Amino acid sequence: MNTRYRTLGGTIFDVANYIVLATIGIVAVLPFLYVLAGSFASDTELTRRAFFIIPHSFSITAYKYIFSTDTILHSLFNSLYVTIVGTAVNLIFTVTMAYALSKRGTWGRNAIMNLIIFSMLFGGGLIPTYLVVRDLRLLDSFWALMLPGAISAFNLIIVKNFFQELPPELEEAARIDGCADLSLLWRIVLPLSMPVLATFTLFYAVGHWNNFYSALLYINDPWKWPLQVLLRQIVLLSQMAAGSADSVDYNYVQQAQQSIKMAVIIVGTIPILLVYPFLQKHFAKGVLIGSVKG
Amino acid sequence: MLMSVTARLKRDRWIYFLMAPGLLYFIIFKYVPMWGLLISFQDYQPYLGFWKSPWIGFENYRMFFGNMEFGMLLRNTLVLSFYNLVFYFPVPIVLALLMNEVRRLVFKRAVQTLIYVPHFISMVIVASLTYVLLTTQGGVVNGLLEKHTGSSIDFLTSPGWFRPLIIAQTIWKESGFGTIIFLAALAGVDIEQYEAAYMDGANRWRQLWHITLPSIRNTIVILLILRMGDVLDNGFEQIYLMLNPLNREVAEVFDTYVYMMGITQGAFSYSTAVGLFKGIVGVILVLGANWLAKRFGQSGIY
């Protein structure tokens, strides 16, 4: 953004800067490019060539292998289900409460706000929350992945502040036109809040898709594992088991599995890359709304 | 206009109706667990439940502070936070400053598109990539090392590599996204300031020093202070995924210890005591950091 003027030093700096930034940009995605290439390469090629972005021989053996059973498909379905239903739960809980709290003069409103703010500062922590989930008989249920994080207090406060800033005249006019209380929210407030809600929808959805912690805690039944848990099982745990064995034959088996692991990583990454254009459109806004204090 | 409480409750009944699900959520999943912290003063037995388990006072705390592991956990947690502060924290700032010098918007957008990607990738994928690339069994990094140096390095299980790996993962995953907040602050700088500085003969270094850096100083200070508030939080998922029996001496932190003792080994009361200790220190740190932020003229968070 600096004023345009040319000095030799400035030009050298600019060239170096472009090279450095381009390199950083490539490093950010290089692991994926390599793993993508590796997932389509034959195992002999993975062993023989150290690093490559384009495989010599193109093979889909790894993908055939991982989709030969429905394990991966099933966990993909589990993740998709939790992401869709979980995000809907997040939005319903967040929007209704945020709207109720945006109304001034309600009895008890300040006390509830304080309860919410305190919960951001201090909490029961892992074990007591686990015991509540267990006592509600939610272990091994998808609800355990959706209810304990139904509202992010931080998001709630941002949405509440947004609702508060909508011009009150709109609601008054709608009320005069005979709009009842609940349809006010549905027909006036929500349509006006779409850009903000789109941002939070994406944030909640990515959170669900990427969530590993809750499933680790609450889901023991492998049939109910979301993709992240299965991924760890396939890529990390098989690795650790191999850590103790160092016979040549075993190494060969491990090599054979590299391409399969890579294929699994790609399958786990693609859904995020598919929504990335939408994310990119919204996240800068999201981060900046978040930094505005209300 | 004063109304009685009952009249107000009646008038606002639909507001309470909308509030109910959220309120129930906060009570059940936030406040009941806080009350559940009391089991740290019990010898909690799952089959007896909360009401019938015997009370044992501070026994769990005495056990924890007298434990050899306490020192290890505290050291690992603090060292990781310190490394994070020294090696990760400046990276997004420098990156944002470099990007701020770019005048071709197309190039800048392309770089932004690339470096924001890792932020949205799950920790499991990040750990998986780390494993697949660094393993001694056919990983590309060790393949290259062997080719050029003749020996390989066991990155994933050697304790010496654990901390550098964690910091490298954080830098790769978050430094791109971390630039957003600085770029926003930099975008607010009036271009006329640079023009005036140029007229006065300031070169680009001086412009950086006298105009650009002061414009993000407040952002840096507040982020630094906020970081102080959560030095005890190392990010459970990342550590847990990179932890293994061979690097445990440097890898185990409070969060993973609570999980291991509580969920894996079933010592509910003991691990709740560890969690409560961490929680209380955390509150003190956050409030202290907030107080500091206010002293620096920032509005604070709470």
C-alpha–C-alpha distance, residues A41 and A24, integer Å = 26
Q: Which of A46, A127, A182 sits opposite B272 (nearest CB)?
A: A127
In a domain, A253, yes or no: no
Tokens for B38, please give them: 């009391």
Last residue of a domain, one of A179, A208, A237: A208
Residue with structure tokens 């929808």? A201
Task: Tabulate helix, strand, coil % of chain A (nearest 5).
Answer: 75, 0, 25
With an 8 Å Cβ cutoff, is A144 touching chain B? no
What is the domain partition of chain B in residue ranges? Answer: 60-295
Pair A125, A161 in one domain: yes
Query: Are A35 and A146 members of one domain?
Result: no
My answer on whether A24 and A139 are in the same domain is no
Note whether A81 and A99 are within 8 A (CB): no
Q: Residues 6 or more apart from A16 whose CB is under 8 A from it?
A: none
Contact criterion met (CB < 8 Å) for B101 and A14: yes
Do A90 and A196 fall into the same domain? yes
The answer to whether residue A142 is domain-embedded is yes
Domain co-membership, A190 together with A134: yes
pLDDT in tens, chain B (302 residues): 567 888 888 888 888 999 999 999 999 999 999 999 999 999 999 888 889 999 999 999 999 999 889 999 999 999 999 999 999 999 999 999 999 999 899 999 999 999 999 999 999 999 999 999 998 887 889 888 888 888 889 999 899 999 999 999 999 999 999 999 899 889 888 888 888 888 888 888 888 888 888 888 888 888 888 788 778 888 899 999 999 999 999 999 999 999 999 999 999 999 999 999 999 999 999 888 888 878 876 655 55
Q: Provide the pLDDT for residue B135.
A: 87
Residue A285 confidence (pLDDT): 65
| A3 shares a domain with A48 | yes
Expressed in percent and rounded to 5, the helix, strand and coil fractions of chain B are 75, 0, 25
Q: Which residues of A touch B137 (CB under 8 A)?
A: 239, 242, 251, 254-255, 258
Amino acid at B135: T
Does residue A70 sit within a domain? no
Interface test with B, best of A46, A51, A127 (most B CBs within 10 A): A127
**Based on the domain organization, do A37 and A104 belong to the same domain?**
no
Q: pTM, whole model, 2 decimals?
A: 0.89
Q: Is residue A94 part of a domain?
A: yes
**Paired residues of B55 in beta bridges:** B42
Write down the pLDDT at residue B29: 97
Closest Cα of chain A to B58: distance in Å?
18
CATH number, domain of A156, equals 1.10.3720.10
Structure tokens at A176: 């005069």
Of the candidates A10, A2, A15, the one whose C-alpha atom is nearest the C-alpha of residue B207 is A2
The distance of B82 to chain A (nearest Cα, Å) reads 22
Asked if A48 and A159 sit in the same domain, the reply is no
CATH class for domain B60-295? Answer: mainly alpha
Whether A51 and A108 share a structural domain: no
Amino acid A287: pLDDT: 60
Find where tokens 């074990």 sit.
A127
Pick the last residue of a domain from A163, A191, A208. A208
Q: Of the candidates B169, B110, B92, B120, which has an alpha carbon nearest to the alpha carbon of residue A22?
A: B110
Assess whether A92 and A179 both reside in one domain. yes
Interface predicted TM-score (ipTM): 0.90
* A101 shares its domain with A188: yes
Number of domains forming the structure of chain A: 2
DSSP state letter for B54: P
Task: Assess if residue A170 is contained within a domain.
Answer: yes
Question: Which domain, by its residues, includes A176?
Answer: 85-208
Decide if A280 and B101 are in contact by the 8 Å CB cutoff. Answer: no
Tell whether A241 is within 8 A of chain B (Cβ): no
For position B64, what pLDDT does the model report?
94
Quick one: pLDDT at residue A8?
Answer: 82
Residue A203 lies in a domain: yes
CA distance A266 to chain B (A): 9
Give the dihedral of Cα atoms A4, A8, A11, A12; nearest 10 deg: -160
With CA atoms as reference, the chain B residue closest to A208 would be B122
Tell me, what's the pLDDT at A48? 74
Q: Is residue A235 assigned to a domain?
A: no
User: A34 and A145, same structural domain?
Assistant: no
* Low pLDDT (below 50) residues in chain A: 1-3, 242-256, 292-294
Which residue among A208, A228, A256 closes a domain?
A: A208
Q: Tell me if A38 is assigned to some domain.
A: yes
